[in-house]
Amino acid sequence: MWGNSFFDFAFSSTRGISGGIFCVWNSFVFQKIKVFSDENFVAVEGVWHPINTLVMFVSSYAPQSIKDKRNLWLKLLLLIKKWNTTVLFMGY
């Protein structure tokens, strides 16, 4: 893609005027196990090889309304309650 073929990715499709969410990483450093996606987030569960640890990266794009933000966080809380290790959040 850009001179390095050792990458993997996950995405959430476009919704309305939103361009979706696209996550990309070096596959030597992080190995994807499972992806969970929604219109406002992409969560990638996998192994962080430098410390051989399971982690979940969550990239989110929050909606504008307070009600929709609350619903997003309820979904994310349900997801991370099932997860027993480090969760890293990124987003706007």
Q: Which amino acid is at 39?
A: E
Give the model's pLDDT for residue 74. Answer: 95
Contacts of 23 (CB under 8 A, 6+ apart): 9, 10, 11, 42, 44, 57, 59
pLDDT for the residue 3: 67
pLDDT band at 2 (very low <50, low <70, confident <90, very high): low
Mean predicted confidence (pLDDT) in 8-36: 87
**pLDDT tens digits for 33-50?**
999 998 889 999 999 999
pTM (2 d.p.): 0.84
How far is 38 from 29, CA to CA, in rounded Å? 25
pLDDT in tens, 46-72: 999 999 999 999 999 888 899 999 999
